[in-house]
């Protein structure tokens, strides 16, 4: 990016909780604003998805963190108001958010469901200065959609993202190269993009506490400690980032789905049902993108949270549900140590274009073309009439969802009529 580039990073403040609050106020007739009380969006402990997905600013004051268990959060704040996730709503809010951004530039990169980079270099002059334009977008999102955002303004993606993380909520911040020393270097090194907990701990152990300390360090010495990451984060500490804003997503390097099972799996038949449900969703995604895979892997997380995985390179590429399932079962039986299982996943890689070519063997009598037609027919029916319109008989009256992985069914929608009315917590 050149110094003349104008890059925005727009980040929704407490996205899931904000979207939930706006929906309840505007469409459910509720009067209590979740954003103004200690509250959080959390999974269902009964289904073993009991973690905090988003929290309000008042909840943050109690030390509640995204990713911690509901039990941990409730110990910190016994009066914490918890609401269930509603991903269908979140996707609609995200779509409306992105539509507004695309009115200001055709170069919008959706970075996640609640944040995006926007290259305003060619269009900013139509609306005013960079800060005026960012303020215009921020105000419009608040007034039209009801939730707030932070916008970081700079000449590259890294600095724009760092700026958007400054004081919240509902703010516009700049972080130009000449402002790095005063605005970014005093921050803890843990605040720098690409520096996680393990790296922070290692940097602290060698006396690097702030981003300024990192910027002043010898990059050769950093490489000796952190290998290539050392050089990368040294560059980040100096505001170096040449990555462009990509309006079209990069092709997937792998496809996978995993699921936390609502009960401990202790036998092969139940494990294979879960693997079949995962193979259904992975195969569907591969066929939707018209690609095939050459590597299948299975991952197992046991009830003690230990994790193991095993993979296989295939002799020919595939996107058939039945083949993915067959290889997943073989890998599972080779990998499983007999301990109770909490979480299973199927992951694939070595993506190839779907050219329908297959290396046949002399004794293989499988009609692969027939299997492919069947998969495509099932995909079409599910797309037209819903994913439950066609399901295998083995899943009838079973606790295992016939298409598992990704965002689970219970997180997709919420029956608000069955929820208890919200009350101001007694803190």
Structure confidence at residue 49 (pLDDT): 56
What pairs with residue 51 in β-bridges? Answer: 69
- Same domain flag for 233 and 272: no
Structure confidence at residue 251 (pLDDT): 83
For residue 419, being part of any structural domain is answered with no
pLDDT in tens, 69-83: 888 999 999 999 999
User: Residue 371 and residue 408: Cα distance in Å, rounded?
Assistant: 27
Please spell the DSSP secondary structure of 20-66, one letter per residue: HHHHHHHHS-----GGGSSEEEE--GGGT--BEEEE-HHHHTTT--T
Closest CA to 10 of 66, 90, 88, 94: 94
- Same domain flag for 168 and 197: no
| Average pLDDT along the chain | 92
- Same domain flag for 41 and 81: yes
CB 312 within 8 A of CB 267: no
- Same domain flag for 120 and 197: no
- Same domain flag for 63 and 133: yes
Which residues make Cβ contacts (< 8 Å) with residue 369, sequence separation at least 6? none
pLDDT top residue among 420 and 339: 339
- Same domain flag for 224 and 329: no
- Same domain flag for 72 and 89: yes
- Same domain flag for 273 and 398: yes
Which of 149, 176, 203 marks a domain boundary?
176
For residue 110, being part of any structural domain is answered with yes
Structure confidence at residue 358 (pLDDT): 67
- Same domain flag for 17 and 120: yes
Domain carrying residue 189 = 185-237
What order do you get walking across the sheet with 307-318 strand by strand?
A: 254-265, 341-353, 291-302, 307-318
Structure confidence at residue 252 (pLDDT): 86
User: Residue 192 and residue 210: Cα distance in Å, rounded?
Assistant: 9
Structure confidence at residue 296 (pLDDT): 97
- Same domain flag for 9 and 59: yes
For residue 414, being part of any structural domain is answered with no
For residue 327, being part of any structural domain is answered with yes
Structure confidence at residue 407 (pLDDT): 73
- Same domain flag for 276 and 401: yes
CB 277 within 8 A of CB 257: no
pLDDT top residue among 47 and 426: 426
Q: How many domains does the chain have?
A: 3
Structure confidence at residue 420 (pLDDT): 78
As a whole-number percent, the residues of the chain with pLDDT over 70 amount to: 95
pLDDT band at 356 (very low <50, low <70, confident <90, very high): low
For residue 425, being part of any structural domain is answered with no
For residue 346, being part of any structural domain is answered with yes
Is it true that the peptide bond before 169 is cis, omega within 30 degrees of 0?
yes
On the question of pLDDT at 52 being above 70, the answer is yes
CATH number of the domain that residue 171 is part of? 3.30.70.270
On the question of pLDDT at 22 being above 80, the answer is yes
For residue 12, being part of any structural domain is answered with yes
pLDDT in tens, 383-414: 999 889 999 999 998 888 899 887 767 777 88
pLDDT in tens, 289-319: 999 999 999 999 999 989 999 999 998 999 9
pLDDT in tens, 106-126: 999 999 999 999 999 999 999
User: Residue 136 and residue 158: Cα distance in Å, rounded?
Assistant: 22
What are 196's two structure tokens? 């996680």
pLDDT in tens, 245-287: 999 888 888 999 999 888 899 999 999 999 999 999 999 999 9
For range 358-371, the mean pLDDT: 78
CATH number of the domain that residue 198 is part of? 1.10.150.20
As a whole-number percent, the residues of the chain with pLDDT over 90 amount to: 79
Which residues make Cβ contacts (< 8 Å) with residue 268, sequence separation at least 6? 332, 333, 336
pLDDT top residue among 44 and 124: 124
CATH number of the domain that residue 297 is part of? 3.30.1490.100
- Same domain flag for 148 and 228: no
Structure confidence at residue 359 (pLDDT): 67
| Active site residue ranges | 115
For residue 244, being part of any structural domain is answered with no
Which residues make Cβ contacts (< 8 Å) with residue 401, sequence separation at least 6? 259, 277, 395, 408, 409
What are 38's two structure tokens? 């200690």
pLDDT in tens, 158-208: 999 999 999 999 999 999 999 999 999 999 999 999 999 999 999 999 999
């Amino acid at each position: 990016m050149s110094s003349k580039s104008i890059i925005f990073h727009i980040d929704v403040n407490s996205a899931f909780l904000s979207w939930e609050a706006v929906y309840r106020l505007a469409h459910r007739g509720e009067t209590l604003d979740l954003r103004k009380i200690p509250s959080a969006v959390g999974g269902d402990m009964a289904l073993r998805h009991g973690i905090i997905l988003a929290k309000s600013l008042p909840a943050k004051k109690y030390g509640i963190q995204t990713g911690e268990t509901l039990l941990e959060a409730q110990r910190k704040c016994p009066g914490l108001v918890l609401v269930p996730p509603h991903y269908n709503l979140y996707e609609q809010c995200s779509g409306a958010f992105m539509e507004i951004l695309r009115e200001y530039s055709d170069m919008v990169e959706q970075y996640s469901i609640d944040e995006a980079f926007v290259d305003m270099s060619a269009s900013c002059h139509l609306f005013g200065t960079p800060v005026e334009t960012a303020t215009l977008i921020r105000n419009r999102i608040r007034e039209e959609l009801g939730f707030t955002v932070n916008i970081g303004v700079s000449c590259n993606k890294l600095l724009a993202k760092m700026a958007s993380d400054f004081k919240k909520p509902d703010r516009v911040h700049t972080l130009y190269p000449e402002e790095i020393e005063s605005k970014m270097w005093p921050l803890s090194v843990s605040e720098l993009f690409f520096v996680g907990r393990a790296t922070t701990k290692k940097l602290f152990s060698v006396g690097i506490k702030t981003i300024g300390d990192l910027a002043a360090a010898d990059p050769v010495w950093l490489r000796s400690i952190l290998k290539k990451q050392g050089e990368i984060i040294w560059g980040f500490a100096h505001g170096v980032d040449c990555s462009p804003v990509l309006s079209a997503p990069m092709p997937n390097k792998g496809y996978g789905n995993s699921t936390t099972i609502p009960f401990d799996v202790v036998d092969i038949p139940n494990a294979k049902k879960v693997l079949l449900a995962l193979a259904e969703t992975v195969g569907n995604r591969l066929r939707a993108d018209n690609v095939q895979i050459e590597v299948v892997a299975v991952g197992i997380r046991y009830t003690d949270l230990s994790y193991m995985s095993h993979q296989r390179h295939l002799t020919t590429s595939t996107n058939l549900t039945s083949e993915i399932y067959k290889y997943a079962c073989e890998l599972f039986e080779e990998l499983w140590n007999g301990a109770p299982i909490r979480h299973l996943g199927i992951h694939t890689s070595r993506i190839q274009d779907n050219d329908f070519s297959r290396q046949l063997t002399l004794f293989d009598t499988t009609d692969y073309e027939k299997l492919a037609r069947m998969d495509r027919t099932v995909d079409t029916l599910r797309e037209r009439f819903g994913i439950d319109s066609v399901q295998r008989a083995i899943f009838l009256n079973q606790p295992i969802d016939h298409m598992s992985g990704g965002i689970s069914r219970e997180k997709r929608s919420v029956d608000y009529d069955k929820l208890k009315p919200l009350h101001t917590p007694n803190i």
